[in-house]
A and B are shown apart, each in its own frame.
Chain A
């Protein structure tokens, strides 16, 4: 076995453990800066990944643990994605550090462990590794969610996430057991060979549906979305940000692998199920977001809607659709992190992240106001930002399939309705920032250097992906070639 295949995960784990060790000797005031070390380390690993790790050519993927772990283009794409997300989340955590009363180093380390889980998830080629990676992510997030122990909301969020997360884990294990019992294999490749004969077996299909339910919980798609608003609202801001982008993307890479690698024959018969999930999520997320006053809750509901948009690409059952999912996630990364960074910095003094607290932001900090506006515009899918091109690709992928199956047309119009509804609440945030008359506090907001850098990176990412989509689109197209 080639240890180099696991280099990303090993480096991240070493970094996390190293942080915990260093923590023992550090005086209390210096611990906050440890986050910068973690971010720098993550940045170096990302740099190593970009410079030293070559994208494996098609058909020459590296395998480890008797094919349980795979390093192909798709895995590498997502590994870099997760590293970038974690880098920005760690910077955000340092900003948030003064609101965490104890165990700061553990917070940083836990973010890194969750990252390791995501890196494993990107490479899962077997239900065992899939389950282990998901548990590593989920259990770490139980702790990260309830990290502000003095806040009841944070604890409540932790408990809710724990209960519903455990339930979904139970579903998933049961599903894996059923699938294994009938097919005698846990590996995706083996299942792909066996699934053809089991396509008519109801128990086997039931097992698969249970596995999908478990993954649906991760990506927050209707009807497994019930935890989202409360957890998003209660969890510390960096945790919510990581949950919104990292956890969702991990769910999607696993979903893509299970659907298109393990059971492609069965997936081909399931477009209507996927369309149903997608349409329901788009409608539910967007409609429920309208009355929200809490920004994190609003982003939670909009996250459900975005899971629905992403499922459009999965439901299209085409390579173009899968590439669109990867592209959309890339744009979503910058957009989500930009929005949460603004929430973290601008609403420092406000408890409850009320939307009204953004009033007057354009005077307090033009940079934060502009960032939030760009993020909202990107969420809503307005050019020249990343969200627009992502939605364009997703709609194109769906419409390409439409001549064969009219249901795709209905799905397209449903997505359109969702986008128009979403404009209302995204634009409402912009309204509060720029022309709400109820501004009470007009003191300028200080922005630290690293956060300023993170904000610039997010803006640059949104604009680059929107204006020059070719580069990432090619990467995404190459990456999804790993899926037949």
Chain B
């Protein structure tokens, strides 16, 4: 059995065990949930450390036939692209279970849903079968809706619940139609992603078919990732959600759509990808600018974070739109970094809300005096959000910009300016409003995280941000070979930086990739290409 099966089996198995625990055994229920997510996290770390970056193909694979007549199978495995995502998902899930001490009613149902959601999330990122991939995602999505509805907060809870339910279901269904159409058109009789990829490399789909399926996937997945202008569900949804749900959804589940684009849409539909990517590049400016501008005007801190997460998705879209090794590597890096960051921010804002009962920035202030630990962590999260070097976000964003520069100069200039300046403005203003200035009397009684156990989830997430920020090669060394191997059909030929010295003939798009393309591409594009024109 693959360790992946255990990683997603622990939460799902624990969910079944929880069914049998009487609802009055509160510590037991919480203990089971934390233990299961901890086991998943430990196993994920172990798998991440044992992962061999040099090996081609997938590792820790397991395949069990599910419905033979349709070519469905339970197939999990990791390569460089999703190994980091699984790790991030498992760590965030553990942190989310830890911060859920704020839930005081109907704990059994809450932890049950949390565990199902965790299992679904980890399954979605581990799956190598189109059907499994979608199945696990839906399995994670539905608990999200119920958790927002039952344990959510604020007056607009019901509206936000229905909005997020209908909007995300629409996105998921569009993607489902795209996936089925892909299966039907490929004619390989299998939902298995590696087999489909091999089949489609040998027999690419006609441009017409690709042109029909790709927008379905792009906008279906795009809705799930809050691609501008389909982002309106995100801020109200996250501000109404309980912190664990917001952490898991904004941090991990949302990345499903991006992962789907990189894993499925780009490699399997390369021609259409090349046609659509310039459009995506301009749309991502919508995320960066519009999301950022609206975030500047927010009065509620959670909504601000919601809009900032919309804005951050712009970086990932830009990296994907660049369609080159550096860009996509950076996109994956931002996905992982933003997962930790969003989980950290929503966890901290949940702590604030639990202490004060409000997140309205105007009513708060001076909290750093009362909350040295939480306040400091929040400040570090804000700096990470601004893209300060030392945090994983910086490494990811700068890589994305290097990648995007080769494809879209104007968009990259605008994105740099917009993202970095606007992001710094709203984040620093929020920090000033929350943590500095006079402390209103009403909040004289708020208490900091009392002991290590309460601090643990935040420390874990901060540590991850710093580790991957100071040493991003832990991730990039794994991501790059996988991207150049799996996404190769869609990658644009690299622009030779100095014609005449490094010039090499552009690879013929229609011809099969020469076997030495991957190492060559690897050498050409380090994370920081020294000779990019700038």
Complex interface residues of chain A between 426 and 446 (CB less than 8 A to chain B): 427, 430-431, 434-435
> Counting CB contacts under 8 A, is A469 at the interface?
yes
> Counting CB contacts under 8 A, is B51 at the interface?
no
Residues of B contacting A402 with CB < 8 Å? 181, 184
Would you call A434 and B180 a contact (CB within 8 A)?
no
Binds A, one of B145-153, B304-312, B341-349, B373-381: B145-153
Residues of B contacting A395 with CB < 8 Å? 176-177, 180
CA distance in complex: A347, B241 (Å): 31
Would you call B142 and A382 a contact (CB within 8 A)?
yes
Would you call B177 and A377 a contact (CB within 8 A)?
no
The residue in chain A whose Cβ has the minimal distance to the Cβ of B134 is A383
Would you call A423 and B166 a contact (CB within 8 A)?
yes
Shortest beta-carbon distance from B525 to chain A in Å: 38
Would you call A427 and B135 a contact (CB within 8 A)?
no
Residues of B contacting A412 with CB < 8 Å? 177
CA distance in complex: A396, B183 (Å): 9
Shortest beta-carbon distance from B133 to chain A in Å: 12
Shortest beta-carbon distance from B137 to chain A in Å: 9
> Counting CB contacts under 8 A, is B173 at the interface?
yes
Would you call A419 and B173 a contact (CB within 8 A)?
yes
Q: Which of B138, B177, B183 gathers most chain A CB within 10 Å?
A: B177
CA distance in complex: A396, B185 (Å): 11
CA distance in complex: A420, B131 (Å): 20
Range for the number of chain B residues in contact with chain A: 20 to 34
Would you call A473 and B149 a contact (CB within 8 A)?
no
Shortest beta-carbon distance from A369 to chain B in Å: 10
Would you call B185 and A403 a contact (CB within 8 A)?
yes
Shortest beta-carbon distance from B168 to chain A in Å: 10
Shortest beta-carbon distance from B132 to chain A in Å: 10
Complex interface residues of chain A between 25 and 52 (CB less than 8 A to chain B): none
Would you call A396 and B180 a contact (CB within 8 A)?
yes
Would you call A470 and B68 a contact (CB within 8 A)?
yes
Shortest beta-carbon distance from A64 to chain B in Å: 32
Shortest beta-carbon distance from A197 to chain B in Å: 36
Residues of A contacting B69 with CB < 8 Å? 470, 473-474, 477
> Counting CB contacts under 8 A, is B413 at the interface?
no
> Counting CB contacts under 8 A, is A424 at the interface?
yes
Contact with A along B69-103 (1 / 0, CB 8 A): 11000000000000000000000000000000000
CA distance in complex: A388, B131 (Å): 11
Would you call A392 and B181 a contact (CB within 8 A)?
no
> Counting CB contacts under 8 A, is B283 at the interface?
no
The residue in chain A whose Cβ has the minimal distance to the Cβ of B185 is A403
> Counting CB contacts under 8 A, is B165 at the interface?
yes
Shortest beta-carbon distance from B375 to chain A in Å: 33
Would you call B173 and A427 a contact (CB within 8 A)?
no
Would you call A420 and B68 a contact (CB within 8 A)?
no
Residues of A contacting B66 with CB < 8 Å? 470
Would you call B139 and A399 a contact (CB within 8 A)?
no
Q: Which single member of A377, A399, A430, A473 contacts B67 (CB below 8 Å)?
A: A473
Beyond A435-B150, A470-B66, is A423–B169 a contact (Cβ under 8 Å)? yes
Would you call A377 and B173 a contact (CB within 8 A)?
no
CA distance in complex: A57, B135 (Å): 35
> Counting CB contacts under 8 A, is B196 at the interface?
no
CA distance in complex: A129, B500 (Å): 85
Shortest beta-carbon distance from B143 to chain A in Å: 11
> Counting CB contacts under 8 A, is A62 at the interface?
no
Q: Which single member of B70, B165, B174 contacts A416 (CB below 8 Å)?
A: B174
Would you call A431 and B158 a contact (CB within 8 A)?
yes
The residue in chain A whose Cβ has the minimal distance to the Cβ of B120 is A383
The residue in chain B whose Cβ has the minimal distance to the Cβ of A395 is B180
> Counting CB contacts under 8 A, is A400 at the interface?
yes
Residues of A contacting B230 with CB < 8 Å? none
Beyond A423-B169, A469-B67, A477-B69, is A416–B149 a contact (Cβ under 8 Å)? no
For the residues of A in contact with B, the DSSP-based class is: helix
Would you call A399 and B184 a contact (CB within 8 A)?
yes
> Counting CB contacts under 8 A, is A190 at the interface?
no
Would you call A384 and B139 a contact (CB within 8 A)?
yes
CA distance in complex: A430, B142 (Å): 12
Would you call A423 and B67 a contact (CB within 8 A)?
no
Q: Which single member of B139, B145, B170, B173 contacts A383 (CB below 8 Å)?
A: B139
Contact with A along B336-380 (1 / 0, CB 8 A): 000000000000000000000000000000000000000000000
> Counting CB contacts under 8 A, is B282 at the interface?
no
Would you call B165 and A427 a contact (CB within 8 A)?
yes
The residue in chain A whose Cβ has the minimal distance to the Cβ of B136 is A383
Residues of A contacting B142 with CB < 8 Å? 377, 382
Shortest beta-carbon distance from A264 to chain B in Å: 24
CA distance in complex: A362, B23 (Å): 13
Shortest beta-carbon distance from B256 to chain A in Å: 14
Shortest beta-carbon distance from B229 to chain A in Å: 18
Would you call B177 and A431 a contact (CB within 8 A)?
no
Complex interface residues of chain A between 353 and 409 (CB less than 8 A to chain B): 362, 377, 382-384, 388, 392, 395-396, 399-400, 402-403
Would you call A399 and B135 a contact (CB within 8 A)?
no
Residues of B contacting A403 with CB < 8 Å? 184-185, 209
CA distance in complex: A352, B131 (Å): 42
Complex interface residues of chain B between 163 and 205 (CB less than 8 A to chain A): 165-166, 169-170, 173-174, 176-177, 180-181, 183-185
CA distance in complex: A474, B184 (Å): 20
Shortest beta-carbon distance from B115 to chain A in Å: 14
Would you call A423 and B184 a contact (CB within 8 A)?
no
Shortest beta-carbon distance from B148 to chain A in Å: 10
The residue in chain B whose Cβ has the minimal distance to the Cβ of A393 is B70
Residues of B contacting A430 with CB < 8 Å? 146, 149
Would you call B166 and A416 a contact (CB within 8 A)?
no
Q: Which of A399, A413, A419 gathers most chain B CB within 10 Å?
A: A399
Shortest beta-carbon distance from B445 to chain A in Å: 29
Residues of A contacting B180 with CB < 8 Å? 392, 395-396, 399
CA distance in complex: A109, B162 (Å): 45
Shortest beta-carbon distance from A194 to chain B in Å: 35
Residues of A contacting B181 with CB < 8 Å? 399, 402
Shortest beta-carbon distance from A383 to chain B in Å: 5
Residues of B contacting A470 with CB < 8 Å? 66-69
> Counting CB contacts under 8 A, is B161 at the interface?
yes
Q: Which of A362, A424, A427, A474 gathers most chain B CB within 10 Å?
A: A427
Shortest beta-carbon distance from A34 to chain B in Å: 36
Shortest beta-carbon distance from B217 to chain A in Å: 14
Shortest beta-carbon distance from A426 to chain B in Å: 10
CA distance in complex: A412, B178 (Å): 11
Residues of A contacting B170 with CB < 8 Å? 416, 420
Residues of B contacting A477 with CB < 8 Å? 69
The residue in chain A whose Cβ has the minimal distance to the Cβ of B212 is A409
Shortest beta-carbon distance from A108 to chain B in Å: 35
Would you call A416 and B162 a contact (CB within 8 A)?
no
Would you call B146 and A434 a contact (CB within 8 A)?
yes
CA distance in complex: A439, B162 (Å): 21
Would you call A424 and B162 a contact (CB within 8 A)?
yes
Would you call A431 and B174 a contact (CB within 8 A)?
no
Q: Which of B162, B170, B184, B185 gathers most chain A CB within 10 Å?
A: B184
CA distance in complex: A474, B138 (Å): 25
CA distance in complex: A423, B150 (Å): 17
Shortest beta-carbon distance from A313 to chain B in Å: 14
Known A383-B138, A384-B139, A396-B70; 20 more pairs at CB < 8 Å: A383-B135, A388-B135, A395-B176, A395-B180, A402-B181, A402-B184, A403-B185, A419-B169, A420-B166, A420-B173, A423-B165, A424-B165, A427-B145, A431-B161, A434-B149, A435-B149, A470-B67, A470-B68, A470-B69, A477-B69
Top 10 A-B pairs, shortest CB-CB distance: A470-B67, A383-B138, A383-B135, A416-B173, A420-B170, A435-B150, A396-B180, A400-B184, A399-B180, A399-B184
Can you name 14 A-B residue pairings with CB atoms under 8 Å? A384-B135, A388-B138, A395-B176, A395-B177, A395-B180, A396-B70, A396-B180, A399-B180, A420-B173, A430-B149, A470-B66, A470-B69, A474-B69, A477-B69
Residues of A within 8 A of B (CB): 362, 377, 382-384, 388, 392, 395-396, 399-400, 402-403, 412-413, 416, 419-420, 423-424, 427, 430-431, 434-435, 469-470, 473-474, 477
